[in-house]
Each structure stands twice: as structure tokens, then as C-alpha cells.
Structure 1
């Protein structure tokens, strides 16, 4: 076929690990045109962005990157890494770049790296806000100009265009800040003129590595072969296989609508898609469409909300569990009273004291009918305060009160919580919250993203 491209996603998250021999065999056998790997997510909450924390360890990231960089340079194909360092903030992007530079020096590899920061100039955001070009998504918090100026970190989730521009600028390795997961894999197919619907749909599946196999017992990768009429998926591991159901069901993952999925610049439509088994391992997909819309990118912002400490303990006393809700409400009131008596109302009001009861609606807002727990529950007490010292103090005070709060059927002193670790108060450090769930309209897909180039390992 005149316009066919193959590419590989080695693992769903950089640093997750994959089998090097399987990966290298697949690259050579399929003669892939590029390697791409996602490195980030918002799954871990706002702390990774706000506190400049990577998802995976430096050792895990370097191990995977060393294999990928070596292979990409050996075959003279591009390597694309998106949402570098977990959150895609500027610090995290620089952190990954340092690892790439280290690999280049150790292996004596010469190549050109493009870095695409995703943190946005605050004055530009304020101008967009004043022009009505920033729109709230569903359940988004209220924002103001001060939100845009004072939030610790704000990133824009770039589309495919900045990645394409970096490649057109001569990059061998592209390190992108926060980016649409799918954009990373759609960029080169779009650059080469393949149908946008197929390119985006394949990319949406491929960004998760080998997750669309029937049973992913260990993380491995996936190869995609994309043509003008369809794309085919084949697992990297010889022990894994794709089925029409396993591939089709991936449309249910991390999306509100399995038939219409939004990306910068438009939406992929899967209403007419067909999934066909090619053999026992491969699946062929047809019928994906892409409809262009106004070009928007999502904004993510992490703001410091305080410092956290927690107490975690289990309860198995049947006398408490028989009427747990009544006892728990009294215990929370008693714990609050003890904290106010010791630290004063104003100090306690400056803190947030939250509880979750595992086994009693902690994960879901309400238990399905017929599901009960008459054996044990676990209580998580989480305190957020203006300082770590105060968070620890309030957590200890309230946790201690709950630990010894009286039980109606018992006389005398009791101990209600079984602590799995000691000390039972755990300090969690700075706490960040997402304060932006918005999109910003762009006139040019590149207007928020500048591209910097770095020549790696230039031997003197």
C-alpha cells in the first residue's frame, strides 16, 4: 500500500517496564516508523504537578528510556515522549531531559532533541480570560484573574501540531510537556496525510501500550499498522493477543462517551466502527471518523491548599458495627470538640477535617442494595491545615479522641481503632488541588507552545 505506517507503543506509562527482547524484535520485524510513549496522567491528583513530583522513580524512567533511545537511534526513527515526568510541568520536562542527556553521553549518541514546554505565560492566559476565550468544563470550579496569576503550576494539554512542528524542525527525540495522550501517537500519521479518524482512534488505543489485549497480566507494548482504509493492532508479547472485544472495549476506558471522544481541534466518532479478527492475535479496525471543531486545549492548574496528615485505623468491634452510623457521628462530634477545646475555634476553622469509612461508602457515594459489612470497617481521618505542624497536631488530637471514644454497650476505657502502622499519625506534606478544569480557545495550535532544541552529546 502506498501510504502505510507502523509504530510501536512499548508500555502504557514510561517507567512501567517492558520486556526488552520482545520490544526490539517487534521494532525490527515491523520496521516501525517511530516509537512513542506516554509519561503522564492526572490519575495521581494535583500533587505531581504542584509539587514537581515524577510518577515513577528516576531508575525506572532511565531504564526504559535507555532502551528506547538506543533503539530509536539504531534504526534512525523518531522517539516521542509526552507529558514528561508525569504531570508535564516545566520542572518535570527538564528532569526527563537531564536523563536523556545522561543516556546520550553514556552511550556516545548524537541526536537533536526538541523540548516543548506546556506551562503557559500567565499574562497570555489573563488576556484570553478577559476576551472570553477560556471556558469551564463540567463541574469546573469558579476562577478569576487571580486564579490564573497565582496558581502554582498551570499547563496546557497540547495537541498534535506542536509535535509535528518539532519533527519538521529536525528533532530526532521529542520531549513534550503536558500533552494529549492520543496526540503523541496521531502526530506522525497526520503529518503523513493518513485519515484523521483512523489516526486519532488508533492513537487513543495505542497510548495505553498493550492494554487492549484480552488479558494484560504484565505490562508490554503494542504495534499499530495504519493504512488509508484501516488500522491493525498486534501485541508485542508473543504470549498476548487482541480480540475484537478487547479492542472495542477500550473505548470504555477513561471516556464519558465511548462513541464520541474530544481532542484538540475536533472529535473522533466511533459510531460506525467495525472490529475484525485477522488471526488469533491481530485485530483490524475500520470506520473511524474525525470531525473538526473550534481548536481548544485543556488547562490544568495545581494550587497549594495546605499540608496534610492522616490517621488510618480499622474497627471490628461488633458492638460498634451494629449501630456504626450513630456511634460514628457522636465520635466525630467528640473529636471536633476536643480539638476546639485544645486549639481554639479559629485555629480549627483554618483546617479541613475529613473522614472516609472503607467498607461503608468510601469508594462509591452509596452502597448498592444487598451489600453490607458486618465484619469490619476502616476509618481514614485526613486533616488539611495551613502548616504541617498544625495538621499533625489536629490529626493526633482527633484520632486519639476517636480511638478511645466510648461505646454504648461498654463501660470504662476502650480502644476502638487498630492501627496498621506506627506512629499512627502520618504526615503527607504539601497538598495541592486542581483549580482549573477549563479549555482555552486558540487561533493557532502553536500559539501557547514554544519549541526549544538541544544537541545531545557533542564530543569535543
Structure 2
């Protein structure tokens, strides 16, 4: 058991182009691991449903190359979690391909561990039949029908699969969906420090230098984990953390301000004490941890249809003063045209509008409107949105006689689509599975590069 383990987070998101000078400062302090999160739900369900990465490949390769080159040279393990934004199998494959490319180009030799965490519908139905799946707050119980609607599902693993890979001699680990904190707690736990401070440190490290007082240089936050405390400090000497900035990030993205749930553990921070060790560094004591039945969260996405949007600006004072009724008339008239011309009823597509600005404010000169369409096919989506924006342009308004054009479009054509021809997904799983073995929802494969 080591008395102290030094953990380095190079950034809050791999591919965000962390500051290289800060990274070099960090390496001079001899960290015991180099880590980075690569995933998030913040960007919505598309990246999980489609198995696509959010980050640019060149940017991700740049960050990975800096991490791997130094990690291999200094014999420091490199761990990346939630690969390729969503951590699904295609996202992991995408990042593994980049790592292999780096090894070949830089003539680096190391053992690479690939940890995949995607679950099949058959696996989910098996857990459901055994009564092992339960919903988190605000979600409904799962059933076979809902499972059949899922496009893709991942389990959110804890630290144990990464520890297993380290025990098998892995120098670089690319993991599928994982809790952000587990990336940074794995090495301290392996060194005998499976305590509250390993997980508390991971929680503050997960977004890199976002926990700083002011993020002057992006990337490279460090923590020192001990049996009775942990300390945290940005690597760059011109940056600092404070008790307030560390507390602030400890509370970040938590439903409960005092209890942080991790696989098999609950971190209790209600009695945590945050003290400035100097003008750049904070020490934390008083955190406690309780072991609990081992559960992993599961995230799922299902396909909803094809999206098209049109962005319009409105500054006609006659429209602004009757904005609500005008929008209702746009929808009513557009739906009538769509029914007549395309033979599509209300249940064949979704229609909504979003208003930006306050038309009731006398000082408002311009209001933005987004018309949002979701249809079953790309062709239907194109047809519906064309009907909608053209109707918005010319639908009659009260207090005016004759023709008029009351919307301005910043693009031609006015309709836009999101990635992959507008494919749209929704989150459909926010549940946990109780498991007996922390490794049972993942698959580990090794490559000698």
C-alpha cells in the first residue's frame, strides 16, 4: 500500500486540446497515472444512438498522442474512459484505431487494453427476468417492449475493469462508458486506497481545470490521495483552486449535494472540510464512504425519426403584438396543407416551435423563432418543414390587408438538418442493474503493439 498516490487529469474532455505547457508541469511532479474522460451525456442521445464521436479526430489524436507518448516513456499508465463521447462499441473502435495509428507512426510499443461496455437486448432481458433492473428517480419500470425499442445501450462501469486491465499489464486503457470518477480512482484503489478520498478526488478531477478559481490555461489538474485526506492543485503555476472552487465542483452534476453514488459505493461529503494549504492548493478531509450492493447504471437511446428545422427572424410590429395567435395560425394552416398535399396526419410527424426573445416587451424589436419537425422519413421531414416555413412567411395576419412577408430567413434553403441526415434519438434508459461481478457487463481485450 502506497501512502500517497498522485493522479493527473489532462483535461475534462479528450479532444479539447489541453495546454501542453501545463501538462509538462504536471509530468515534472511524477504522477502515478495519466487520465482523461472522453464522454458525456451533455450533448444528448445522438452520439450513443448512432455510435458516433462528438470530438474531431485530429484533436483527439493530438491529445492521445501527448498522453501515450509520455506515459509509455515514463512508464505511467494512461486511462481514457467513455471513449468517443458515448462509450458504445463503435465509439471505442474509433478510439482504438487512433491509438494503433499513434503506436505505428511513433514506433511505440505497449500493451493496450480495450474495455467494451455495450449491452445487447438479450442481456437486458436476462437481467430484467431476474429482477435485477430498477429505474432511477423519475423513470418507469422497464419491460421487454421498451427494451425492443432501444437502438443502443451501454453499462456505466466502475473502477474494477480498469484495475483488472492494469493487473494484466496494460500500459494504455481505452474504456467504454465509465463513471467519470472511476477513471481517476482506479490507480489509488489498486494501490490500497479504496477510500472516500480516492473517489472525492476523482469527482473534482473529472472536468480537469474546470474546478479552478479561473481557468487561464485549459487542462492538467492534479490530486494526491492518502488514507486520511486528499489535496488538489492545478498543474500550471499561474492557476489555483480555492475551497469554494473545489466545493463548487464537488456539487457539480449531483442530484444530492451530500451523497455521491458510485458502483458499489456511496461517498458521503456532508462532513467534508476544505482548507487552503497555500494560495494554489486545497486539502480535503472528513469525507467518508460506505460500501453498498454493486450496481451499474445503464444508458440507452432509441431512434425517433428525422429532424429538420427552420430559423426565422420576426420584427414586424403587427406580428410581434399577436405573436401567440400568429404561431397558432401558422401551425393550423401548415398542418392543413400537409394533410391535403402529403396525406400526413398529426400522428405522422411532430411539430413544435421555440421563441427566443419577448414579443410582449415594448423594447423588443426582433424575435427569433425555430420551427422544429420530426418525421418518419427524410422525404417527409423535407416536405413538412418546407410547408411550415413557407406558411410562416405568408400566413395572413390581422390588422393588415393584402400580401405580406413577415419572416426573414438567415439561410437558403431555410430548412436545416442535424448530423446523419437529421437522425434523431431520445434517451430511453436511466436505470441500474445489480450485478454480482463488477466485470460482468464488460468485455476486455488486449493488444500488444
Q: TM-score band (shorter)?
A: over 0.9
Alpha-carbon deviation of 1:64? 0.4
Partner of 2:381: 391
SS in 2 for 1:452: strand
Alpha-carbon deviation of 1:422? 1.6
1:27 matched to 2:27: yes
2:436 alignment partner, one of 430, 436, 443: 443
Cα displacement string for residues 185-214 of structure 1 (whole angstroms, at most 9, x for unaligned residues): 111111212252111111011011111001
Residue pairs, 1:42-441, within 5 angstroms: 42-141=41-140, 143-346=142-345, 348-359=346-357, 374-428=364-418, 429-441=422-434
Alpha-carbon deviation of 1:419? 1.4
The more displaced of 281-290 and 233-242 is 233-242
The verdict on how the C-alpha distance between 1:441 and 1:100 changes in structure 2, with shifts beyond 3 A counting, is same
The more displaced of 418-427 and 56-65 is 418-427
- The answer on whether the counterparts of 2:67 and 2:78 sit within 8 Å (CA) in structure 1 is yes
Alpha-carbon deviation of 1:219? 2.0
Alpha-carbon deviation of 1:426? 1.1
The more displaced of 33-42 and 120-129 is 120-129
Alpha-carbon deviation of 1:133? 1.0
Distance 1:372 1:338 in 2: 34
- The answer on whether the counterparts of 2:2 and 2:192 sit within 8 Å (CA) in structure 1 is no
SS in 2 for 1:414: coil
Distance 1:345 1:426 in 2: 21
Partner of 1:12: 12
Distance 2:329 2:216 in 1: 45
Distance 2:361 2:265 in 1: 42
The verdict on how the C-alpha distance between 1:359 and 1:253 changes in structure 2, with shifts beyond 3 A counting, is farther
The verdict on how the C-alpha distance between 1:2 and 1:440 changes in structure 2, with shifts beyond 3 A counting, is closer
Distance 2:136 2:362 in 1: 36
SS in 1 for 2:254: coil
Distance 1:450 1:397 in 2: 49
Distance 2:204 2:304 in 1: 35
The more displaced of 99-108 and 371-380 is 371-380
Alpha-carbon deviation of 1:373? 7.0
**Runs of at least 5 residues in structure 1 that lack an aligned partner in the other structure:** 362-369
- The answer on whether the counterparts of 1:233 and 1:283 sit within 8 Å (CA) in structure 2 is yes
Distance 2:378 2:140 in 1: 26
SS in 1 for 2:177: coil
**Runs of at least 5 residues in structure 2 that lack an aligned partner in the other structure:** none
Aligned residues between the structures: 446
2:447 alignment partner, one of 427, 434, 454: 454
Cα displacement string for residues 303-342 of structure 1 (whole angstroms, at most 9, x for unaligned residues): 1111111111121222222232222222222222222222
TM-score by length of 1: 0.93
Distance 2:98 2:390 in 1: 45
TM-score by length of 2: 0.95
The verdict on how the C-alpha distance between 1:149 and 1:113 changes in structure 2, with shifts beyond 3 A counting, is farther
Distance 1:344 1:387 in 2: 14
> What is the root-mean-square deviation of aligned Cα atoms in Å?
1.9
Dislocated runs of 4+, deviation >4 Å: 370-373
Alpha-carbon deviation of 1:288? 1.2
The verdict on how the C-alpha distance between 1:387 and 1:172 changes in structure 2, with shifts beyond 3 A counting, is same
- The answer on whether the counterparts of 1:251 and 1:259 sit within 8 Å (CA) in structure 2 is no
The verdict on how the C-alpha distance between 1:141 and 1:341 changes in structure 2, with shifts beyond 3 A counting, is farther
- The answer on whether the counterparts of 1:182 and 1:207 sit within 8 Å (CA) in structure 2 is yes
